[in-house]
């Protein structure tokens, strides 16, 4: 084995010192193991970590009756990976190779170790995350997806499993030999595609994301009956930050997310303006790290479940989940974000972050200095972006579907656009195609009146067609601005409070909505910055306010601290 392979293997399967093993013994159960004894089976929904004190054990991948050795672990080494933190079923069989001794740690015990033993926590977390990356790279998991790249359902499920960091094997019917034999062996037909084979036995035919999540046990250990200190709706940057801070400060936090952790940020191929990442970080990586961090502190996640309704008539509040079940919450953090309106143009999303942008800040202005750019939209944000970009760009084309700007843009902005020789407003014109290899290189627009198409070598398009807040599920429980974004704190005028019957002697806290103890953070909030950093800042700040509300209401003892079964964490304000 080369030095670098050896170093990687040591990080993947590190050996703890005798002192560290002794520390772990104080959290788990020490017991003997017998040669040949099966310690855990794949699909076991109470996954455990085994720390070898004496002897060795094999981690085995099981496919039908076949076993493949993934790794043999010896004294000082331990089993387990990210699934254990999530409380999801085990992927591998663990079998004792020798008579020996082990320490068995269940999920709660592992979480306690991670929170209270800083030195061991670093080694274990790194190993768990690296193991998950290896499982994904090798396609070792408990799911097989059978589909075709030409099938929308297959693409949806691939995206869902990938974004959730769940290892799976993909069988592509377009390249697979003897497809009929595969169909016959599983008792499926082409009409069933995409098919997911879960735990090697359950066959799901064209399943929803939710059905796959349920079958793979994504939410199996989440207690739906508990009254939560805080329910966080949405696991974008704002919701993830709220989850990390809430769980690390001892609150019993549950996050509800219909897709996967990361929100819009996952569409960003490189976030370069987030503090601490001078070379940028992909949205997917930032989300995966934040998700693991929230899991480590003990936050619960309901994945592939959507908040369908907030019941706000009485406390505790209740969040109804689509398809049934409700969760009771002392406080709620609304972090359900927004979606940008996008023109329906093929390949547009391929260039998001590399030629297609939804905001025009100094960073984007620098990227297109001296070049021609296109702005889509006729509202004030499009007008402001045009004036701003014209200071650095060679020429700005503003494409508007309507006859002009009069109905959608403020008069003063229209005058500025008209008076600027670097700006052209093209009315009745829409973008119809984008092309490029890696980065956007050409755009084509069409004038509806003349019917003429024009293709130009333009490398930067700004979509300023507005954003829609994800607030349908609130059914008007809280006050919103004219565009549907939620008003909070100082933005709430006495009239807003009177109309909503604000019941308290105090004014709403800074991120609080017109419902006491219900906060709005990130892109869903009126006046928010629509940036990752601001969403993260608001999500974390809201947790301090949750503590304040719980104290005000005499509920200052969060339920996780009162309950002995949940881990106890570091300091609380």
Contact region for ligand FAD (CB under 6 A) — 192-200, 477-485, 531-539, 560-568? 531-539
Cβ burial, residue 101 (10 Å; 0-12/13-18/19+):
middle
Tokens of 311: 């019941």
At its nearest, how many Å lie between ligand FAD and the CB of residue 352?
4
**Smallest distance from ligand FAD to CB 379, Å:** 18
> Which of 239, 250, 298, 537 touches ligand FAD (CB under 6 A)?
239
Q: Bridge partners of 321?
A: 307
Question: For ligand FAD, which stretch binds (CB under 6 A), given 179-187, 258-266, 310-318, 403-411?
Answer: 258-266
Residue count (the chain): 573
What is the full DSSP assignment across 155-223?
HHHHHHHHHTT---EEEETTT-S-HHHHHHHHT--GGG-SEEEETTTEEEES--HHHHHHHTTTTTT--
Distance of CA 127 to CAs 95, 121, 124, Å? 20, 10, 5
Residue 263 as a binder of ligand FAD (CB under 6 A): the answer is: yes
Q: Single out the segment in contact with ligand FAD by CB under 6 A; choices: 7-15, 18-26, 259-267, 565-573.
A: 259-267
Beta pairing partners, 57: 73, 96
| Shortest Å distance, C-beta 152 to ligand FAD | 19
Assess 531 for contact with ligand FAD (CB under 6 A): yes
DSSP string for residues in 340-375 = E-----TTGGGGBTTTEES---HHHHHHTTTSEEEE
Provide the 3-class DSSP secondary structure of residue 308: strand
Of residues 140 and 473, the one with the C-beta less far from ligand FAD: 473
Tokens of 36: 């040949």
Phi, psi of 23 (to 5 degrees): -65, -40
Question: Which two three-digit tokens encode residue 42?
Answer: 């794949």
CB within 8 Å of 38: residues ≥ 6 apart: 93, 94, 95
Residues 6+ apart with CB under 8 A from 209: 156, 157, 160, 258, 259, 304
Strands 49-54 and 100-105: antiparallel
Do the beta carbons of residue 569 and residue 250 sit within 8 Å? yes
Question: Among residues 256 and 396, whose Cβ is nearest to ligand FAD?
Answer: 256
Report the alpha-carbon distance of residue 178 to residue 186 in Å, rounded.
Answer: 13
Residue 244 contacts ligand FAD per CB under 6 A: no
Residue 259 binds ligand FAD (CB under 6 A): yes
- Return the structure tokens found at 190: 């082409």
341 interacts with ligand FAD by CB under 6 A: no
Binding residue (CB under 6 A) for ligand FAD from 258, 469, 508, 517 = 258
Helix axes 283-296, 107-116, angle to 10 degrees: 100
- Minimum distance, C-beta of residue 240 to ligand FAD, in the bound complex (Å): 7
Site for ligand FAD (CB under 6 A): which residue of 102, 233, 243, 405? Answer: 233
462 binds ligand FAD (CB under 6 A): no
Residues 345-364 that bind ligand FAD (CB under 6 A): 352-353, 358
Report the nearest approach of ligand FAD to the CB of residue 289 (Å): 15
Is residue 522 near ligand FAD by the rule CB under 6 A? yes
Q: Is 115 in the site for ligand FAD (CB under 6 A)?
A: no
Binding mask 159-178 for ligand FAD (x = CB under 6 A): --------------------
Least distance (Å) between residue 486 CB and ligand FAD: 11
- Should residue 523 be labelled a site residue for ligand FAD when binding is judged by CB under 6 A? yes
What is the distance of C-alpha 2 from the center of its chain?
36
User: Residue 43 CB, nearest distance to ligand FAD (Å)?
Assistant: 28
Q: Site for ligand FAD (CB under 6 A): which residue of 250, 337, 516, 517?
A: 337
Q: Which is nearer to ligand FAD, 57 or 243 (CB)?
A: 243
91 vs 274, beta carbon nearer ligand FAD: 274
Of 207 and 283, the one with the shorter C-beta distance to ligand FAD is: 283
Out of 81, 257, 372, 479, which residue is the one contacting ligand FAD (CB under 6 A)? 257
* Nearest to 92, CA basis, from 112, 67, 117: 67
Which residues inside 297-326 make contact with ligand FAD, applying CB under 6 A?
A: 306-307
Binding test (CB under 6 A) with ligand FAD, winner from 87, 236, 383, 537: 236
Contact in structure between 508 and 497 (CB atoms under 8 Å): yes
Instruction: Please tell me the distance from the alpha carbon of residue 514 to that of residue 518, in angstroms, as a whole number.
Output: 8
Nearer to ligand FAD, 111 or 241 (CB): 241
Helices 237-248 and 532-552 pack at an angle, to 10 degrees, of 40
- Single residue of 234, 378, 537, 567 touching ligand FAD by CB under 6 A: 234
Residue nearer to ligand FAD on the CB measure, 267 or 420? 267
Residues in contact with ligand FAD, counted by CB under 6 A, come to a total of: 37
Q: Which residue has the tokens 């709706």?
A: 233
Applying CB under 6 A, among 21, 271, 312, 360 the residue interacting with ligand FAD is 271
Interface with ligand FAD (CB under 6 A): 233-239, 256-259, 263-265, 267-268, 271, 273, 306-307, 335-338, 340, 352-353, 358, 470, 473, 522-523, 530-533, 535
């Amino acid at each position: 084995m080369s030095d670098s392979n050896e170093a990687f293997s040591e990080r993947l399967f590190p050996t703890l010192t005798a002192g560290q093993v002794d520390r772990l013994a104080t959290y788990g159960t020490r017991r003997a193991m017998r040669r040949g004894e099966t310690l855990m089976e794949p699909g076991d929904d109470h996954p455990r970590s085994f720390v070898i004190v004496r002897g060795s054990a094999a981690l085995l991948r099981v496919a039908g009756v076949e076993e493949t050795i993934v790794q043999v672990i010896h004294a000082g080494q331990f089993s387990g990976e990210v699934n254990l933190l999530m409380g999801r079923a085990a992927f591998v069989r663990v079998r004792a190779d020798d008579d020996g001794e082990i320490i068995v740690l269940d999920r709660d015990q592992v979480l306690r170790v991670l929170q209270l033993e800083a030195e061991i926590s670093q080694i274990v977390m790194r190993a768990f995350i690296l193991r998950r990356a290896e499982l994904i790279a090798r396609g070792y998991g408990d799911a097989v997806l059978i589909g075709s790249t030409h099938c929308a359902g297959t693409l949806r499920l691939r995206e869902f499993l990938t974004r959730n960091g769940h290892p799976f094997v993909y069988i592509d019917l377009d390249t697979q030999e003897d497809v009929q034999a595969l169909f016959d062996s599983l008792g499926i037909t082409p009409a069933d595609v995409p098919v997911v084979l879960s735990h090697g036995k359950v066959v799901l035919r064209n399943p929803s994301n939710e059905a796959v999540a349920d079958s793979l046990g994504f939410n199996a250990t989440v207690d739906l009956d508990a009254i939560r200190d805080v329910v966080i709706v949405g696991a974008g940057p704002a919701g993830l930050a709220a989850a990390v801070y809430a769980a690390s400060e001892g609150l019993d936090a549950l996050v509800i997310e219909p897709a996967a952790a990361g929100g819009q940020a996952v569409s960003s191929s490189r976030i370069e303006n987030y503090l601490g990442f001078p070379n940028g970080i992909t949205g997917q990586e930032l989300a995966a790290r934040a998700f693991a961090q929230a899991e480590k502190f003990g936050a619960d996640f309901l994945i592939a479940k959507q908040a369908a309704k907030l019941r706000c008539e009485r406390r505790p509040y209740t969040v109804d989940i689509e398809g049934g079940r409700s969760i009771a919450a002392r406080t709620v953090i609304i972090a359900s974000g927004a979606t940008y309106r996008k023109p329906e143009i093929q390949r547009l999303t391929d260039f998001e972050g590399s030629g297609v942008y939804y905001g025009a800040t100094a960073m984007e202005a620098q990227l297109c200095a001296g070049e021609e750019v296109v702005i889509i939209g006729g509202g004030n944000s499009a007008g402001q972006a045009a004036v701003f970009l014209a200071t650095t760009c060679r020429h700005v084309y503003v494409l508007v579907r309507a006859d002009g700007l009069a109905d959608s843009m403020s008069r003063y902005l229209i005058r500025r656009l008209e008076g600027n020789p670097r700006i052209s407003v093209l009315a009745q014109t829409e973008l119809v195609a984008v092309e490029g290899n890696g980065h956007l290189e050409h755009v084509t627009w069409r004038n509806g009146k003349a019917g003429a198409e024009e293709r130009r070598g333009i490398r930067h398009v700004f979509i300023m067609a507005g954003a829609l807040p994800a607030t349908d599920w609130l059914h008007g429980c809280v006050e919103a601005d004219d565009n549907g974004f939620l008003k909070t704190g100082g933005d709430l005028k006495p009239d807003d409070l009177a109309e909503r019957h604000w019941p308290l002697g105090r004014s709403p806290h800074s991120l609080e909505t017109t419902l006491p103890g219900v906060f709005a953070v990130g892109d869903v909030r009126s006046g928010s910055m629509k940036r990752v950093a601001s969403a993260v800042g608001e999500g974390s700040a809201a947790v301090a306010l949750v503590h304040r509300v719980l104290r005000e209401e005499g509920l200052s003892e969060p339920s996780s601290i009162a309950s002995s079964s949940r881990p106890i964490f570091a300091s609380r304000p």
